[in-house]
Amino acid sequence: MDAPLLAALADPARWRLVSLLAERPRSVGVLARLAEARQPQTTKHLQTLERAGVVTSQRSGQRRVYALRPGPLRDLAVALTRLADTADRAGGPNETFDRYGAGLDAERRAAEADRWADGRSFRFVRSLEAPGEPVWRHLTEESLLARWWAPDGLRVSELVFEARPGGRIVLEYRDLEDADGSDAAVGRAEGVVEDVRPGERLAYRLSPLLPGGGFAFTAHIAYELRPVGTGTRLEARWRLADSTVESADSIAGIEIGFGQSLGKLAAVLAAGA
């Protein structure tokens, strides 16, 4: 995109001159009078617009007449439309952002006292293009978990997963573009593995940490695996407990965020298959 053109058009006085020149070519004197500005000021603005390529001029007797060049404006319009279409694409990040925002508002209104979300449950079901053994490994091995266990736009930056009853869980994630870890972590959670039945069932509890310390809530999470043809049906159930008033933002992101994580898991397994 043409930065000088954008800078030239950003000034309200120059935008007024462009609007006047869109009607027809005009002299500096006429433009100054219509814009209710001094002529030296108007001349400087027109020179800026001419350097940006959006107007052209020619001398006619004692006057200098300016005219608008439509081409750069059309090119700018195309570029702006392309940006808007990219941001507005169906199923894109902006749509998810808006859905999360709506969820945030609803959860914040509901969070009036501690334990407000206790008993809340979520259910996720995915048909995965892989047999049970690789699915189980992706649920329990740290190096494989790290490939999918974070929402879109985020990456796992620290992970401990001890796949045994009583085993420790630590999960931290950061912005995907924060490659050197210079920004604060986006989220961190700690938990304990409760049930391990290889290839069949995995259960653990996980508690996200609040920015000021303490746990936002505790999620009791259980996976059930069942073979279906050459693939695997994975069902994940969440049940919330110990919810605090401050947990509203975290709870608002569960359905979207964990759903995105499972989408990554499905894609990783499909690519491996």
Residues spanned by the domain of 99: 93-272
Same structural domain, 74 and 130: no
The pLDDT confidence band at residue 61, using thresholds 50, 70 and 90, is: confident
CATH number, domain of 12, equals 1.10.10.10
Mean pLDDT, rounded, for 250-264: 96
Residues 124 and 152 in one domain: yes
Cα 5 from Cα 74, distance rounded (Å):
12
Tens-digit pLDDT profile for residues 208-243 = 999 888 999 999 999 999 999 999 999 999 999 999
Residue 272 has a pLDDT of: 82
Domain count, the chain: 2
pLDDT in tens, 121-153: 999 999 999 999 999 999 999 999 999 999 999
241 and 203 co-located in one domain:
yes
* 14 and 70, same domain (yes or no): yes
264 shares its domain with 171 = yes
Instruction: Look up the CATH number of the domain holding residue 116.
Output: 3.30.530.20
Contact 252, 122 (CB under 8 A): no
Question: Final residue of a domain: which of 87, 108, 123?
Answer: 87
Q: Which of 87, 114, 145 is the last residue of a domain?
A: 87
For residue 273, pLDDT over 70 is answered with no
pTM for the predicted model, two decimal places: 0.79
> Do 238 and 152 belong to one domain?
yes
